[in-house]
Structure 1
Amino acid sequence: MKGAPRGPARLVGRRYARRAPGEPRAVGYLYVLPALALYGALLIFPFGQSVWLSLLHWDGLTAATWAGGDNYHDLLTDPELRAPFAHALVLLVFYSALPVTIGLLLAALLSRARVRGMTFFRTVLFLPQVLALVVVGVTWRSILAPDGLLNDTLEAVGLAALTRPWLGDYDWALPAVGIVGTWVGTGLCMVLFLAGAQRIPRELYEAARLDGAGPIREFLAVTLPGLRPQIAVALTLTIVAGLRNFDLIYITTSGGPGNATSVPAYEVYHRAFETNQVGSAAAIGVTLTLLIFVLTVGISRLVEGRRT
């Protein structure tokens, strides 16, 4: 080309073009650098410290000794350490599966029917999301107490045989806490699904009705596929909330009776601050973090794969 530099001048020009200040890529890195530094200081560095502590035997006071993989080996072989993870998986049914299912049903009903006071219903169902979990825990602890509102109601309707100390019963304590989680998460899922349903083109519903689709077929063929992104978001939020659940357990049962309601997040607190097993607590925390990461990435990949 005429006028293009040749030889050394052309080489120098290329190098200058690569290293020129103000290049879009370099400027982009400068823009995100403060956020990356903050993210690293507040998240990556503490997580690295937790990984290091999980490789030690340490009571938090005296000198630590090297443990290697002993804490993780105990996590796999000790039934007392495996139980909190089993309880967390059970709670995922109440914290994630039920809220998503109920939220889908409520969104389908409310989006089809013209209900007076729609804003009121949405507000009431979403209200648990704006309450602090400490307030929720204290309220439900009084409701589920032996002399609480639930047992009083059962006695009033002639079902006294069903009364029990819900949070003190080995068989019912975990489901009782799970029901509280369902109550908290349902409103969030419903609002997400209602917002998503409003973005589904009305023409799809009209076409389904012209083809003779009833309400159930319409829901399965139109509403459910259209809500796939919102379902992924709801699953991610509820699964993370269920696995990192600490507030409700601490306020309502403190892991009891025995360890019937102990979950990983509570076990981290219990071992680190009550029994001085900091290394074991760090191993539980690292394992819980990796479990949450794997599940959330899996949900995202599944949704992206369905889209393609």
Structure 2
Amino acid sequence: MSSLRSRSGDDTTYPALSARRVARDLVPGAAAEQTVRPSARLRTGGRAGRIGWLLVAPALLFYAAFVLWPLLQGVQYSFYDWNGIGPSTWVGLANYVTVFTDPDLLGAIRNAFVLIAFFTVIPVTAGLVLATLIRSVRAGFFSSVSQTILFLPQIIPLAAAGIAWSWMYAQTGAVNQILGWIGLGRLARPWLGDYQTALPAVGLIGSWTLTGLCTVLLLTGIGKIDASLYEAVRLDGAGWWREFFTITVPGLRQELAVLVTITIIAALSSFDIIYTTTLGGPGRATLVPGISIYRIGFTQSEVGLASAFGIVLMILVLAVVLPIQRLSKVRDK
């Protein structure tokens, strides 16, 4: 021990350093262990990485088989004139030219963008207001019941929701009966059979379906906002509106970006509700890309044109969604 002290005479000044020296001298293998440890850590990390890849390999295989491969096939088919059975003929970009010049297909795209107002603007706005109101009520029976009731439409299959609402929109359905009870019977009409009201009527079904999801997700987001921020603005004499726009809305930026993304995708790729209510009618008043692709591919047997329209729809969705995601990330930095 005296030799150890002589070699670490500055142990009072550098106690941690002297302790390491003592450990190194007393334990001969300590230095070797310290030199070996990084390589052992690398081996452990490599083994964990291989195990991780083995665990995700089945999911990657399924994703490649059922998403990537069909997508590549769709891109390939979009350059051919093919009925799905017989020989195909190379047509190059002719199918894409048809998509952007056919008035019916352009009208379907326009209708899909109109549905964004019903699938995105109304549910997100209503969900934001409802979540704020529910938060102002103390957690209890009313809060739990209201969340459950609002979320119920989300768990109902869209096909079933479309059938139920088509009955309610009928000439003798619940909607017209309620209008008659409140003295607005003159407004009664076959909502899904009128060229002017068919698309808004279908859009309101989407609003009803998505409002519960928006409310529950935004309510969860409000729960993570620091309560001291609300107390601070109240001490400054802020009212409900200032509290809402200065604390609640900025604190829900990520949740709002997610909801806007989900609902825009639902609007642009809508199919179930329209198929079970109007089939794109009357005429082409509610025709959307999903219904058009189905008709072109399975009814008219123009697989190449249907594939081209599907690729165009995918690009439109990405062109709308990716800037929203990028903007939300930039504002968080």
TM-score, normalised by the number of residues in structure 2: 0.83
Q: Does 1:290 align with 2:315?
A: yes
Residue number among 78, 81, 97 corresponding to 2:121 in the alignment: 97
Partner of 2:182: 157
Q: Deviations over 1:178-226 (max 9, x none)?
A: 0000000000000001001011111000011111111000011101111
Partner of 1:107: 131
What's the CA shift for 1:297? Answer: 2.1
User: SS at 1:267's partner residue?
Assistant: helix
- Distance in structure 1 (CA, Å) of the matches to 2:238 and 2:300: 60
Cα distance change on mapping 1:138 and 1:205 into 2, 3 Å = same
Cα distance change on mapping 1:153 and 1:20 into 2, 3 Å = closer
Bigger Cα Rg: 2
Give unmatched runs, 5+ long, in structure 2.
1-41
- Distance in structure 2 (CA, Å) of the matches to 1:20 and 1:70: 55
Matches within 5 A, 1:205-216: 205-216=230-241
Residue number among 21, 42, 56 corresponding to 1:32 in the alignment: 56
Q: What letter corresponds to residue 105 of structure 1 in structure 2?
A: V
Q: Deviations over 1:134-172 (max 9, x none)?
A: 110110000001121111222233222111111011111
Residue number among 148, 155, 171 corresponding to 1:123 in the alignment: 148
Q: What letter corresponds to residue 209 of structure 2 in structure 1?
A: V
Q: Percent identity?
A: 45
Q: Deviations over 1:38-67 (max 9, x none)?
A: 211110000011111111111223221111
- Distance in structure 2 (CA, Å) of the matches to 1:245 and 1:282: 17
Residue number among 78, 83, 89 corresponding to 1:65 in the alignment: 89
Cα distance change on mapping 1:206 and 1:259 into 2, 3 Å = same
- Distance in structure 2 (CA, Å) of the matches to 1:206 and 1:20: 49
Q: Which segment is superposed worse, 109-118 or 76-85?
A: 109-118
Q: What letter corresponds to residue 179 of structure 1 in structure 2?
A: L
TM-score, normalised by the number of residues in structure 1: 0.90
Partner of 1:180: 205
Cα distance change on mapping 1:20 and 1:198 into 2, 3 Å = closer
Matches within 5 A, 1:1-308: 22=46, 28-114=52-138, 117-308=142-333
- Distance in structure 2 (CA, Å) of the matches to 1:192 and 1:20: 39
Cα distance change on mapping 1:20 and 1:75 into 2, 3 Å = same
Contact 2:137–2:143, Cα closer than 8 Å, also in 1: no
Partner of 1:7: none
- Distance in structure 2 (CA, Å) of the matches to 1:23 and 1:119: 46
Give unmatched runs, 5+ long, in structure 1.
1-17
- Distance in structure 2 (CA, Å) of the matches to 1:217 and 1:175: 33
> RMSD in angstroms over aligned alpha carbons?
2.0
Contact 2:131–2:218, Cα closer than 8 Å, also in 1: yes
